[in-house]
Amino acid sequence: MNTVPEPNTASTVVSWIDLGKMAYQSALLVQEQQAAALLSSDVDEQVVFTVEHPPTITIGKNGTRDHIVASDEELSRLGFEVFNVDRGGDVTYHGPGQLVVYPVLHLNPWKNDVSRYVRMLEEVVLLALQEVDVEGRRLEGYPGVWVGDAKICAIGARVKRRNTGEFVTSHGLAFNVTTDLNHFQTIIPCGIVDKGVTSVRELTSDPVSYVDWQQRILHSFAEVFEVSLAEKR
């Protein structure tokens, strides 16, 4: 049973919706519908979605299919799907054992600052890693979270502006918990040729639970963003 982090005294309440295991396009539709409602001011609800995808490659607005190194036949054999998406960034992998977090928020409570928002997403992961004595870091010029020269969390956000001026976010972060790192060999992750990828399971000898890390990331999100999370079904 998933448990929502304990409410804090923050005035901003964010709904948490766990989509479970869901195909990429289905989850994309869910977040796009929520973002559209925020953009049109039909709702003012702030929502964070968590989801685990089947093997999927997405190509961001700054990406190229040249950074997919596996053949179409190999991708088909492995059960991969490939999508062009409207987030920032290059080529990214999603798959089992990877915790994907899609915050669909308007940024008014966070000074409507997109750069600050991305840094806060990074801080969520850095703080969670500290709890198990893993030293994550930022790498200048490379959004995301790194352990040494290996990326453990990719970040790719999209923002649009409401008529009232607030930016509305979609997409988010992809954090490798028990991810099969061999799957990254099908791509040049984020178009970076001289660095690797890693996961929590690779970095620790202790048993690693996806659900435990989902809760750890949510607690960290509530702390960094100074919000109360309320589970919504």
Residue 48 CB contacts under 8 Å (≥ 6 apart), including other chains: 14, 15, 16, 17, 101, 102, 103, 104, 105, 218, 221, 229
| Cα-to-chain-centroid distance, residue 67 | 20
pLDDT for position 193:
73
Distance CA 183, CA 97 (A): 12
Binding residues for substrate: 87-94, 154-156, 172-174
Q: What percent of the chain has pLDDT over 90?
A: 76
Binding residues: 87-94, 154-156, 172-174
Confidence of residue 1 (pLDDT cuts 50, 70, 90): very low
CATH code at 13-231 = 3.30.930.10
pLDDT for position 42:
86
pLDDT for position 3:
52
Write down the catalytic residue from 190, 200, 222, 229.
190
Q: Tell me which residue has tokens 């990326």.
A: 151
Confidence of residue 189 (pLDDT cuts 50, 70, 90): confident
Residue 35 CB contacts under 8 Å (≥ 6 apart), including other chains: 104, 160, 168, 169, 170
- Average pLDDT over every residue of 103-108: 97
153 noted as active-site residue? no
Residue 143 CB contacts under 8 Å (≥ 6 apart), including other chains: 89, 118, 122, 154, 155, 156
Domain boundaries of the chain, sorted by first residue? 13-231
Distance CA 58, CA 123 (A): 24
Q: Mean pLDDT across the chain, nearest whole number?
A: 91
Distance CA 116, CA 173 (A): 15
Task: Choose between 65 and 82: higher pLDDT.
Answer: 82
Q: Is the pLDDT of residue 8 over 60?
A: no
Q: pLDDT digits over 69-81, tens only?
A: 999 999 999 999 9
Q: Which helix (H) or strand (E) holds 219?
A: helix 210-225
